[in-house]
């Protein structure tokens, strides 16, 4: 990654590859599924140039980092403890934690589980979701009992793993470069949610006219090469801990996040169809606003980096004043 060096941070025998660079207040960037530290390639130079230091891990289960075999090795306590270990390794007390997709879930939990280590939190694509009335996947099974929902499909060990890994180029092309929800045909919308034996990638349409402007073939090839090497099980195991996470966070039921927060998303992000921002706002005591980038999809920081970087830097200037040690 440009302007960074890679260091290895080890916690409880799990080694994490972390790209670090810059000087000044620390921004910790947490990627989602199926992504890599590489997903922040368009934020890192902007942050460093603006006077910030960055720490960008391939999170456990991904890329250059270790992939523990046990499903429970990917619960929210482990994922947040990894970020704390990175801070410790860098001899930093606190950081602004920025997450996208699954990384957002980790970012939102950091000020609840480790409040003394967080200056502020930014979630992208996935808003803060208050603890539900029952375990998460159990609730989803009820909500989507009459159709297909990818998170429920991901629960059975080995099933989605095999489907996604059978053709990583097809998987990553459809995940990253396929049409946005507003571009789906009626038949594609039905296929995505219909009951049946088809897997998730099978239900995703191919790109309409080659790759989008924001994703080059070389960039797509980087993702394909990494997931061909590692498979997808590590990332899928994050989903397999959703119910476990619900039980582990019982003490956080009703808890408020008191540090400054911001939520950023694309207007065409499909996550909004099942994860509304509204319920969580009452639990964000110093929320600095929601930024919606018109026309952007789920991979917002890659797709619209200039607008994402501008919003992120405005928030960072406001909450850090470049005084974090």
Return the closest-CA partner of residue 39 out of 172, 236, 204. 172
Nearest to residue 56, comparing CAs of 38, 68, 32? 38
Q: How far is CA 220 from the centre of its chain?
A: 18
Six token digits for residue 31: 């990627």
187 burial via Cβ count (<10 Å: 0-12, 13-18, 19+): exposed
Catalytic residue among 19, 82, 101, 269: 101
Cα 245 → chain centroid: 16
Q: What separation in angstroms does the CA of 162 have from each of 154, 199, 229, 230, 233?
A: 11, 10, 14, 12, 9
Is 269 exposed, middle or buried (CB count within 10 Å of its CB: 0-12, 13-18, 19+)? buried
Is residue 125 within 8 Å of residue 101, measured between CB atoms?
A: yes
First-to-last C-alpha distance (Å) of the chain: 24
Query: Phi/psi of residue 295, each to 5°?
Result: 85, -5
Is 298 one of the annotated active-site residues of the chain?
Answer: yes
Preceding peptide of 34 cis, ω within 30°: yes
Given the DSSP bridges, would you call strands 118-124 and 5-11 parallel, antiparallel or unpaired? unpaired
Q: 101 catalytic, yes or no?
A: yes
On whether the CB atoms of residues 153 and 108 are closer than 8 A, the answer is no
Report residue 181 as tokens: 């929800």
- Three-state DSSP state, 318: helix
Are 293 and 302 a contacting pair, CB within 8 Å?
no
Catalytic (active-site) positions: 101, 298
């Amino acid at each position: 990654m440009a302007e960074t060096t890679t260091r290895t941070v080890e916690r409880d025998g799990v080694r994490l590859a972390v790209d670090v660079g810059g000087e000044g207040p620390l921004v910790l960037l947490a990627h989602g599924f199926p992504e890599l530290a590489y997903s922040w390639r368009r934020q890192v130079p902007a942050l460093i140039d603006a006077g910030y230091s960055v720490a960008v891990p391939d999170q456990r289960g991904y890329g250059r980092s270790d992939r523990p075999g046990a499903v429970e090795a990917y619960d929210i306590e482990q994922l947040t403890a990894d970020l704390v270990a990175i801070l410790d390794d860098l001899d930093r007390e606190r950081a602004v934690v920025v997450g996208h997709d699954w990384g957002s879930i980790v970012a939102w939990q950091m000020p609840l589980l480790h409040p003394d280590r967080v200056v502020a939190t930014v979630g992208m694509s996935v808003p803060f979701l208050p603890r539900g009335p029952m375990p998460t996947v159990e609730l989803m099974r009820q909500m989507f009992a009459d159709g297909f929902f990818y998170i429920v499909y991901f629960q059975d060990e080995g099933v989605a793993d095999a489907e996604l890994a059978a053709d990583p180029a097809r998987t990553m092309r459809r995940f990253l470069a396929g049409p946005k929800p507003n571009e789906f045909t009626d038949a594609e919308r039905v296929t995505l949610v219909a009951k049946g034996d088809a897997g998730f990638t099978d239900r995703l349409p191919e790109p309409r006219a080659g790759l989008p402007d924001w994703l080059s073939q070389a960039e797509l090839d980087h993702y394909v090469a990494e997931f061909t090497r590692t498979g997808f099980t590590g990332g899928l195991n994050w989903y397999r801990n959703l119910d476990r996470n619900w039980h582990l966070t019982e003490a956080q039921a009703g808890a408020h996040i008191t540090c400054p927060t911001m939520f950023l998303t694309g207007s065409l992000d499909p996550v909004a169809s099942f994860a509304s921002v509204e319920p969580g706002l009452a639990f964000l005591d110093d929320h600095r606003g929601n930024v919606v980038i018109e026309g952007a999809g789920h991979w917002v920081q890659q797709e619209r980096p200039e607008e994402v970087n501008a919003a992120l830097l405005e928030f960072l200037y406001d909450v850090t004043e470049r005084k974090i040690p």
